[in-house]
Amino acid sequence: MHTKKIISASYIYVDDFVKVIKHFKSLNRKFVTYSPIPNHEIEEALGAKKSKIGLFTLAGGIIGLISGFSLAGFTAAEWNLILGGKPPVTLIPFVVIGFEFTILFGALATLLGLIINAKLPSYKKLKGYKPEFSVDHFGIIIEAEESELATLKDSLLGMGAKEVTYE
Amino acid sequence: MNREQLRQALVGSIETNDISIFKPYLIALIAVGVFGFAVGILTGDSQLVLQAYLINFVFWIGIAQGAVILSVVLRLTNAKWGRPIMRLAESASAFLPVTILLFIVVMLGGEKLFIWINEPVAHKAIYLNAPFMYSRVLVSLLLMTGLSLIYVRNSIRNDLAAIYQGKLIPERFRKLLANYDVNRIDSSNEKQTTLSVIITICYAVCYSLLAVDLIMSLDPHWISTLFGAYYFIGCFYTGIAFTIIMASFFIERPEGKIVGSKQFHDLGKLLFGFAIVNGDFFYSQFLVIWYGNLPEETHYIIERTQHQPWETIAYIVLFLSFVAPFIILLNKKIKMKPIAMRWISIAILLGLWLERTLLIAPSVAGSTSFPIGWIQITITLGFLGIVITSIKYFWSKFPMVVYGDPLLKYSLEGEK
C-alpha cells in the first residue's frame, strides 16, 4: 500500500510563486495555494474560473432594487401623505430608497455568496496550512507519492521556496 | 514591447509621417459645415444656425479640455496603467487654440442667442451684460488653453529629449528643444505635477463659469447651483469617451501596441464610473428641483421632460448616457475589446451631444417638431472635421507615447 504525503512550501516573492504555479499547471498536477493578499498575477497564473459571487451580488442588487421601490410605493399608497400637491406614489424620490436597498441587498447577498462558495463554516483541519500563509508568505500545497518527495522538494527549493515541509 | 522597440517605432512614425493634414475627406467635412452655416444664415434661419453652432461649441470644447484633464488626472494620481494613453489624451489639446477663434462667431451672433443682451434682467445686469460675459468667457478659454498647451509642451519636450538622448535631433524639433537641459528631467516632472494641480483647479472654476455664461444664462431667470459642476463633470466624461475612440484607432500604429487590453479595461472602468457620476450629478439637481417645486426652477425641467419633442430626447439622453453604458459596461470582457468600446463611446458622445441640445435648444429657438435637421447635422460635421484635422496634425507631428515618463516602465517589457 502506498501512502500519500502532503508537501507544503512557502514563498516570499510573488514572481517566484507565479513561476511555481505555472510550472505545476503545465505538469497538470493538483495543488492548493494560499496567499495573504489578493493578486491579479496569481489569479491569471491559476487560470481559475470566474467566481460565481458576482451572480449573487447581481441577484441581491435586483431584488433590493425591486424591494426598495415596492416598500416606498406600498407605504406611500397606504398612508397617502399629500404634500405640495404631489402625487403620493412617484418614481423620482423613490430612486433614493431603491438605490440604498440595491446596495444593502447587494452587499448582504455578496456576503452570503462568499459563505456558500467558500463552504464556510469549515471545521476540518487544513492539511499543510501554516499560519504565515495568512500573514506574509505565499503557500503552495501538493499531494505527492512518497517516492517523488525528494525530487519535488528539490524543484520547489530550486524555484526559490523559503521552506518546504512534509506532513 | 520593450523600450528599444518602442523608441524605434516612435522615431519611425515621427520621421515618416505624412504631415500634410488636409486630407480630402477632412476638407469635405469642414466645407459641409461652412456650407450649412452659410446657407442657414442666408435663408434666414440664423437663430437656428447659431443655436446649433453654440451646441457644438460647448460640446467640442468640453471634449478637448476633458481629454487633457484626463491626462492631468493620470499624472496627479501617478496612474501606472494610464501612461500609454496619456499622450493620446493630450493630443486633443490641439483643438483648444481653435476654440478661441470659433468663439468669435458666438460673439458676433450673441444678440440672437442671449436674450438678456437686448432685454437685460434688471437685478442681474451687473453680471449678465455682454462685455463682461464675453470677457469672462474669453479669459476662461485663454487661461485653460494656455495652461493646457504649456503642460503638453513640457510633456513633449521631456519625451523628445529622452528619445533623442545622445542622438542627432531632427531639424524641426530643434526649436522646441532649444535651451532644454537633459539633466533636469526630474525637476521638470515635478513642475509638471505642480502645473497639473493648478490646471485641475482652474478647470473646475473656468468650466463652471463657461457653463453658467454659455448655457445657463440662455434662460436668464433659471438658476441651479450645481449646473457648473454638472457641465464640467460631463465634459470629463466625454473626454474619457473620446480618448477611448482615439485609442481604438491608435492601436493600429506601430507604437500603438503599447496600448493593450489592460488600458482598455481600465479606461472602460473609468467610463463606467463617470457614467454613474454624470447620472448622479443630473439626479442631484433634478431631485432638489422636484422637491422644492418652485415655479422659477421647475419651468426649465418641465419644458424639457414633459413637453414634446424634448421629452423623447430627454429619454434618449437618459438611455444613451446612463442606462445603456451602465448595463453594458458591467461586463468585463467587452471593456477589453477596442472596437466594441469605440462604438459604446460613440453612442455615449451622441447621448451627451443630445443632452447639450436639450439644455440649449429650448431656451433659444425652441421647436415643435423633432429638432434635428440638416442645419444641425452639417454644422456638427463641420466641427467634427475641424477636430479631426487638429488632432491629426498633432498625431503626425509629435511622439504619441510619453517616452520620457518615469512611470512608463511599468507598461514596457523587461522593466519593472
pLDDT tens for each residue of B57-106 = 999 999 999 999 999 999 999 999 999 999 999 999 999 999 999 999 99
**Whether A93 contacts chain B with CB within 8 A:** yes
A56, three cell numbers: 449573487
Mean pLDDT of B231-238: 96
Q: For residue A10, list its beta bridge partners.
A: A139, A163
ipTM: 0.72
Task: For chain B, report the end-to-end CA distance as a whole number of angstroms.
Answer: 13
Contact (CB, 8 A) for B269 and B328: no
What letter would DSSP give residue B76?
Answer: H
B410 touches A: beta carbon within 8 Å: no
Helix/strand/coil for A112: helix
d(CA B214, CA B414): 50
User: Is the bond into A121 cis (omega within 30 degrees of 0)?
Assistant: yes
Nearest alpha carbon to residue B72 among B52, B90, B56, B58: B90
Nearest CA in chain B to A50: B332
- The single-letter DSSP state of residue A140 is E
Q: What b/e sequence results for B129-147 when a residue is b if at least 16 CB atoms lie within 10 Å of its CB, and e otherwise?
A: eeeebbebbeebbbebbeb
Which of A40-49, B140-149, B300-309, B371-380 tops mean pLDDT? B140-149
Which residue of chain A has the CA closest to B327?
A58
Asked if B384 contacts B18 with a C-beta cutoff of 8 angstroms, the reply is no
Q: Which residues contact A123 (CB under 8 A, 6 or more apart)?
A: none
What is the distance in angstroms between the Cα of A102 and the nearest Cα belonging to chain B? Answer: 15
Query: Chain A contacts of B286, Cβ < 8 Å?
Result: 92
Dump pLDDT digits (tens) for B400-414.
999 888 888 888 877
pLDDT for the residue B213: 93
For A84, the closest of B283, B286, B293 (CB atoms) is: B293
Residues 6+ apart with CB under 8 A from B148: B65, B68, B93, B96, B199
How much of chain B exceeds pLDDT 90, in percent? 55
Q: Crossing angle for the helix pair B46-76 and B374-397, nearest 10 degrees?
A: 30
CA neighbor of B54 nearest in space, from B385, B387, B364, B351: B364
Give kind and range of the element (H or E) at residue B353.
helix B338-360
Asked if pLDDT for residue B416 goes beyond 70, the answer is no
Interchain CB distance below 8 Å, B290 and A93: yes
* Contact yes or no for B287 and A92 at CB 8 A: yes
Whether residue A96 and residue B286 make contact (CB cut-off 8 A), yes or no, is no
Residues in chain A with CB shorter than 8 Å from the CB of B287 are 92-93, 95-96
The 10s digit of each residue's pLDDT in B94-123 is: 999 999 999 999 999 888 889 898 888 888
Phi, psi for residue B58 in degrees, rounded to 5: -70, -25
pLDDT digits (tens, 9 = 90+) for A19-40: 888 888 888 888 888 999 888 8
